[in-house]
Amino acid sequence: AQSVTQLGSHVSVSEGALVLLRCNYSSSVPPYLFWYVQYPNQGLQLLLKYTTGATLVKGINGFEAEFKKSETSFHLTKPSAHMSDAAEYFCAVSSYSDRGSTLGRLYFGRGTQLTVWP
């Protein structure tokens, strides 16, 4: 079974400050990990993903995340927040398995609403 926990449903930062959105996962198999961003009334846009290889993953808009297996974490960071970063962020876990219909299924966290103050 796989699941995701996002600590903090709301995070507020000042423009220019560090952004840290927390994500912990549970997975019985090697995970694929994703961060998505959602703007109001829109679908999800992939920020970055970890599959295999380098544990520090860089994504779009200056975001990055580090896969820490020992901590089962995949926290999202950005050194300097911008007003345009205000949105809902979802962490998700999946697995690549050639067994049955669960192939590629994503399990989402509850989301974290990021507010950026001027």
Partner 1 sequence: GAVVSQHPSRVICKSGTSVKIECRSLDFQATTMFWYRQFPKQSLMLMATSNEGSKATYEQGVEKDKFLINHASLTLSTLTVTSAHPEDSSFYICSARSLTSGRGSEQFFGPGTRLTVL
Q: Which residues bind partner 1 (CB under 8 A)?
A: 32, 34, 36, 41-46, 49, 51, 90, 94-96, 101, 103-106, 108-111, 113
Q: Which lies closer to partner 1 via its Cβ, residue 64 or residue 108?
A: 108
| Cα separation of the two ends of the chain | 41
Tell me the three state secondary structure of residue 61.
helix
Nearer to partner 1, 62 or 111 (CB): 111
- What's the min distance (Å) between Cβ of 114 and partner 1? 14
Name which of 30 and 79 has its Cβ closer to partner 1.
Answer: 30
Rounded to whole angstroms, the Cα distance separating 8 from 98 reads: 34
2 touches 26 (CB < 8 A): yes
Of the pair 100, 118, the CB lying nearest partner 1 is at 100
**Number of H helices and number of E strands within the chain?**
0, 12
Q: Considering the complex, what minimum distance in angstroms separates the CB of residue 31 from partner 1? A: 10
